[in-house]
A and B are shown apart, each in its own frame.
Chain A
Amino acid sequence: MSDPLAQTAPAGDDLVRVENLVKHFPVRAGGLIRRTVGQVHAVDDVSLSIPRGKTLGLVGETGSGKSTLARCVAGLIPVTSGRVIFDGRDITNLSRGAMRPVRREIQMIFQDPYSSLNPRRRVGAIIGDPFAIHKTATGAERKRQVQELMERVGLNPEHYNRFPAEFSGGQRQRIGVARALALKPKLIICDEPVSALDVSIQAQVLNLLADLQRDYGLTYLFIAHDLEVVRHVSDSVAVMYLGRIGESGPIEPVYGSPRHPYTAALLSAAPAADPDAAAARQRIILSGDVPSPIDPPSGCRFHPRCPKAEAVCGQQEPQLEAKAGDTATHLTACHFPVQAGENLAAAGRSELT
């Protein structure tokens, strides 16, 4: 177990701190009488913190647990163990009533702009929902505030009475942003907010999010699987693999000199815009698939696919810690961190597969 305090900056600056968070989903079988036959280890002992007004990018493959982590932080699903501390308060597994005031301060923007807006309700009602639920504005005042929000996110306030189906994907995501913004939250959890959008629209929405952060001092937990998007919007990044954080730290060192072989492989797989650079780069091809989170590998969870794995990797779990030569905030959970200039593409497993 890593010491959570060791890896966070002084507690005062952090809006959100997640300490040793564990979320297991029971796997049930049987017809009438359900019994638990296993656990999906969706999030396993994850600690992270987000300083006020900053953006933490959370990257990982599908099934790495990043969305589950986000839902635990938002209090949408109960936590198995560990703590979520928001603005100095422990909000882990609060009751619905106790969570209510916190809901105003933590909002979410969802991945799918189609499924995240109720097709049967008008845009005005959707964006006005936060006001209605928290009874902060009614009638004409609510309408005025909703139209103000629509204008703020770049929508035509005249379209107040339209249905979501009458908007494009990018416009719908703006509706989602307006809804998240309505209660003036401190933290917005963006769960892959642009991955369903066209690239040109992605940039517009990302710029909108950046403007809002600057204007309102928002803190973002930004989930994505697109490394370039994360680099663009985030101050720091955490890489998840099978429910654990493999590497985390400020953008520059993590992207510049990744220490975890998985991070290095992800970065090498990202397409480069420059064809010369694309030809020159060495892609690290990982063998195999992501193992099942029901029965995760022992020791380092990445070891069955790691080009550098040795016997110890399967036995001993690496600690998330600063490696020699790194700054105190750049943490890596690896027994054999990648060294500068090391060529992983040529090493280890690639010729075996």
Chain B
Amino acid sequence: MSVTGLEFAGQETAAGEAALDADAAKIQGRSQWQLTWRRLRQDKVAMAALAVIAIMILLAIFAPAFVTITHHPPNIAYPNTGEDAAGNPVAPGTNGFWLGTDGTGRDLFIRILYGARISLFVGFVTTAIGAVAGVAVGLMAGYFGGVVDTVLARFTDAVLAFPYVVLALALAVVLGPSLTVIMGVIAFFSWAAIARIVRGQTLSIKEKEYIEAARSLGAGPFRIMFLDILPNLLAPVLVLATLYIPTAVVFEATLSYLGLGIQPPTASWGNIMADAQNFYQTSWWYVVFPAMALLITTLAFNLFGDGIRDAMDPRTERVFAAGRARRRGRRGKRQVLADDSQSGPSHVAPYIPPAGGS
């Protein structure tokens, strides 16, 4: 039975009572999320992006399995098999190194896998922290208004306006670079944009009559915020969060590239690319493969985020088709810049437009 058939049958006509009940049971289950998934499945680009993300996550999770297969732990150098006579990295496919070796004779493939673990972990965790904090701040600012709003909104603006690379540099210097510090920095700079969107949505939703209805029933502010407003915000927050994961991944790579993030010998895409700078003229694979990993991952998240956005709102496909194409183009350009790791640190940074770089 088709979907539309179900809907018609579900209406209160004089149809058979049993059939009506059965249809009612089927209709119950069709929530917003199921509808979204149904539409998302038809978006080939989004599904391909989801597949890429899934593969990346699996590769990261099963990185130790590849160590077992290749017998190349990530932090072990192989001066005899992994370096040529001149001490340079060996090419992909040589001596059992699938993607070649790095500057000290370590297995590049294994190091990229271990870099993926760091990148995806940082991306997911900091985005989750940022989303929770952003939703909390945005809800409170939008719902309470007045002084609360003024303070929180101005603070959000200040964070958005902050030169975060400078702060990250300062913190890394003062506290010493560590995973905790860079995750703290990334989380600190990822909540503000979400808070701003949530605040705006909250401002509009709180004027709806169902909020007034909840107040007239005696519901308290937190019940209204979390039960009545939040469910309406999940869609935009989910889209934003999906689009923030690649930003966090690139930010981590940036900091590691600058030597302020993940410290060697622990592998990170950023510090692999930083090391590769000294070898790019002789060993192309050394910089290309980690850069590709970064590019493909961030691109996949961006495309998947776009897909969710379209699937959440059936109107976007038609109304914003042009805008979507434009966004895609812009985002694609940003990824290319992120890939171009030799052109200087400022171009790796996720937020700074190239013109504003040093």
- Contacts from A to B (Cβ < 8 Å): 71, 74, 76, 96, 99-100, 103-104, 106-108, 110-112, 115-121, 129-130, 133-134, 156, 158-159, 161-163, 166, 176, 179, 183
Contact = CB atoms under 8 A, between A and B. Distances in A.
B61 interface: no
B218 A103 contact: yes
Contact of B27 (A104, A111, A162): A162
A119 B234 CA distance: 13
A158 B21 contact: yes
A296 B227 CA distance: 41
Interface of B: 10, 12, 20-21, 24, 27-28, 31-32, 208-210, 212-220, 223, 227-228, 231-232, 234
Contacts, number: 74
Shortest 9 CB-CB contacts between residues of A and residues of B:
A103-B218, A120-B231, A116-B209, A161-B28, A115-B209, A110-B209, A118-B210, A108-B216, A115-B208
A129 B214 contact: yes
7 contacts: A111-B209, A121-B227, A129-B217, A133-B223, A162-B28, A179-B213, A183-B217
B36 to A, nearest CB: 13
Contacts of A118: 208, 210, 228, 231-232
Nearest to A101: B218
A112 B217 contact: no
Contact of B215 (A76, A104, A115, A117): A76
A117 B210 contact: yes
Nearest to A119: B232
Contacts of B227: 121
A156 B32 contact: no
A143 B117 CA distance: 46
A161 B21 CA distance: 12
Given A112-B209, A117-B210, A133-B223, A158 B24 contact: yes
A134 B218 contact: yes
A116 B208 CA distance: 7
Nearest to A179: B213
Nearest to A125: B227
Contacts of B234: 120
A266 to B, nearest CB: 26
A111 B213 CA distance: 11
A186 to B, nearest CB: 14
Contact of A100 (B12, B213, B218): B218
Nearest to A32: B150
B185 to A, nearest CB: 30
A103 B216 contact: yes
Q: Which of B10, B218, B219 is the most central at the interface, judged by chain A CB atoms within 10 Å of its CB?
A: B218
